[in-house]
Amino acid sequence: MLFCTLMTVKLPPDLPAERVQTLRAAETALAQDYQRQGKLRHLWRVAGRTANVSVWDCADADDFHATVSALPLFPYLEIEVLPLARHPSALD
């Protein structure tokens, strides 16, 4: 099942810089692992914002929630989710 997300990072201004660096490094590592697994199919930065648009391929809504909530930045993410279905006019 495919899910499209818009994720905006909302870090508290008083979060120590070293904690931010640790979180970002862990986030990058897990996101790259999800890409290698095929769970994170597409990942784009939203220009001019600390945000991304991504397409996830998960077994179902529960798997999607478990996958996304494991992200190190999850507590600081504002996430909009769109479940996707195949369009009848799509060629692929």
Residue 29 is assigned to a structural domain of this protein = yes
Residue 90 is assigned to a structural domain of this protein = no
Residue 65 is assigned to a structural domain of this protein = yes
pLDDT at 21 > cutoff 90: yes
3-class DSSP assignment, residue 57: strand
Full residue range of the structural domain in which residue 27 is found = 2-84
pLDDT averaged over the chain? 97
Residue 69 is assigned to a structural domain of this protein = yes
Residue 77's beta-bridge partner residues? 9
Residue 7 is assigned to a structural domain of this protein = yes
Q: Which CATH number fits the domain that encloses residue 10?
A: 3.30.70.1060
H-helix or E-strand spanning residue 63: helix 61-69
* Total domains, the chain: 1
Which residue in 82, 15, 14, 16 sits closest to 54, CA to CA? 82
Question: Could you read off the pLDDT of 38-76 as tens digits, one per residue?
Answer: 999 999 999 999 999 999 999 999 999 999 999 999 999
Cβ contact 64:58 at 8 Å: yes
